[in-house]
């Protein structure tokens, strides 16, 4: 079983790197969200584009961007194996997988 990094540590590093405050929003379970997944021999993968679409209307008005962090693998397209992350600068959203 994978262990996740402490989100508070990710927050601390992001604040130092980007030189701006970083705020954590409450976590969301994948179940029940309109996000496609697929099963692979090594576990579940999440369609990154669906995560970005779900995030777009949730960017807070006072935010520079909104980033989702997951312990599941991501894939950008059914033809691809995986990606570490994906973002759209225009829409101010991104998703990153550990």
Nearest-CA neighbor of 52 among 83, 92, 80, 97? Answer: 92
Query: Measured between alpha carbons, how far is residue 87 from residues 3, 29, 39, 66, 76 in Å?
Result: 24, 20, 23, 10, 10
The whole model's pTM is what?
A: 0.88
In a structure prediction context, what are the per-residue pLDDT tens digits for the chain, which is 98 residues long? 456 678 889 899 999 999 999 999 988 888 889 999 999 888 899 999 999 999 999 999 999 999 999 989 999 999 999 999 999 999 999 999 98
Provide the pLDDT for residue 30. 87
Predicted local confidence at residue 3, as pLDDT: 61
């Amino acid at each position: 079983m994978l262990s996740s990094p402490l989100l508070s540590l990710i927050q601390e590093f992001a604040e130092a790197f980007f030189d701006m405050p970083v705020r954590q929003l409450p976590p969301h379970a994948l179940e029940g969200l309109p996000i496609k997944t697929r099963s692979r021999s090594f576990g579940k993968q999440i369609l990154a584009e669906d995560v970005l679409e779900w995030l777009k209307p949730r960017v807070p008005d006072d935010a520079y961007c909104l980033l989702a962090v997951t312990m599941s693998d991501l894939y950008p397209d059914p033809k691809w194996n995986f990606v570490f992350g994906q973002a759209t600068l225009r829409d101010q959203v991104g998703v990153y997988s550990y």
